[in-house]
Structure 1
């Protein structure tokens, strides 16, 4: 009897595994199974596991009104992927369905299925993603099947029938469900690896594009630099054509269709005009949607991204095209939107820099706006790693980077609340902490009983210098920022344990410190001070003192 049941179960496990593999390959399923970023994904996984459980019941083998089945296979895999909520949902769906079928084990089996879903879900919460590995998921499944059938034996009466059923179906159910869960976990892990490989390749392309275009955009966006940017993007991606436009004309078009999409000519396509007009990205799935008047234009599909400033002004478009033979993948759409945002940011930073050259305050903001490209590049690099290994921390990192960029681009006031400046610095340090890990630590202390105002971007450039120039290879750097009122001055102290400044002249003449001194002098006269104390290999302390009475006032109140 065991051999017959086991053989039939394994045969049907193969059928359902193939069915699930096909379901897993759908982009809709992958979006919920792999990314799992929303509550809907948790519910989807739970429902999917419940449906698989029902299928496992229908394909089971009846024995003395009981059913030898692999219902738990769907419930367990849903719980291991989605956690407690998914496990509970799948257990309830599959368990309640089993209850409707009746039989001597109808109630006990349904309750056991629900119990398996809940316990497996909490095991996932306790042990994390590693539970999907074969060496963990197989013993877990075996344990759950023994628990399932042990519960059935305890609850089912009469005991002689319960014992007969349990001893007959025990090994086939353990074997069938264990093999099924193992295969499903391997399929799911393979999908994860494929997704990670695509993400890694896409991110690396993004890094190289950013690295190669930062210097070009600083020279100004014209037909020459636009062509170099388009050539770089086309070389590092699978698109058949790449174009950049202003609101009125084509700056560059590289690849398919460049014979008639020529630089200097007005924008040819209706899709480009609509993208600029509405300021929203457009996905073109057919040649008719592109709207090119040229009869033999090879462009068939495309992603059109508006290049926008933070005030909402659309200044042009980035266009990524494919010919009829090539489809646009989902990840390429995400890539295109991200690339458009980065180009928009680079252009706005460049614009801010150009407008900032006419006075001392503007020169200082230029230094801030032209953030070291390596800073952005390193943040993106760390973000790529976290996207694959810690999605929650990656989202936190994106939010902090966005807050920093918004502050950098939008903060036009001469004075800002000191708390705002400290939040900006904290975001920067937290990003750097993610970037350097155990090699960087920091502490921020504030002892103020009332609000104060200071010039924006006063503290962060100093902190950036501490990290950039102070870090000693393989040695932990500690940065401490202290803000308090002392001797009727608001005292801001930035201390680091870095390698210090060996050249005595640099203590007074470094460009960054010099600009900060000039700025404080312009705003406060001789009443504000910046002092630097540094010892080689022992660290640096920079102290800013602003009279308490002036730090309470905004620009309009300072005479």
Structure 2
């Protein structure tokens, strides 16, 4: 049925009112944003910092094509140039902006800066549509500033900013952006170094486990083969599960539940050796079992309690393990009533000045500080003849850390 003129007029009026309200809402938001920043300088500062933050997210992996391509758009916004390119030492990593045909000339423009380490301005004929094969009639790329990205004494890449006219302001700004990119690359290198260090420390912990514990565990199993074959078979299975978990090759993090399961196997094997001399008490709050912890962060602490606490004393020794929730943290405490540690010796161990005994404490302490900061290092309370209490504290929420599936 055709709409009457009255209805049509009413619909048009409603549409105009709706559009007016929408435009008014947008204008109000813009006015509020303008009012919040107050001045043009404040808005410019915010825009620059926002672009730097966004670019930094993509450069934390270093000068790689995928991250560089995403960061280039934000870097170009920081400079206000019509086009920008990023290179490493040998290739074009990213192009963002107008007239992409000019990307073919970037490595030629960057070659002298990569060789000399000095910023330079390129103009025609190096920067020209003829040289690039650019057919754009409105192309504004007639000059370029090439700035080195320097990591220490090495030139690891360049930032190339194109413009109609490379003035002094653009030269200075491009150099500052290149220095900022270099800082992000160095942070990425530090992250990689930290990861390699953590992997090396995990290998050191595994090496510590293998000679001392494996020899004693196999001797304990052998002692049951003739007297209690069924017990020997059970211990072999526990030994296999423990070593499979401890020597797995991948994954820097696991759950507290998995670490405690591994500790249970470890203590089962140690009790086969010590018998009633080794007494154990556990108090574990269910709400902390899913907490993410660095792989092999608890077992060295329990081994320290057995080896340097219980094994070194006469008579029965007791080990207590508790894990509870305290605010936003999961707190694990491992206490023994063994021979204790001289505090000066302990300080030397944790500072990395002493080798040999208690290396597990030092490695776990260093890894906790690397991952969570100095506030999360081990807290060790001890004295000769007074036993040892070790406290480990980790955040319950760690969405940035990946955990491998449980080991069956």
* TM-score, with length taken from structure 1: 0.34
Q: Which structure features the higher share of helix residues? A: 1
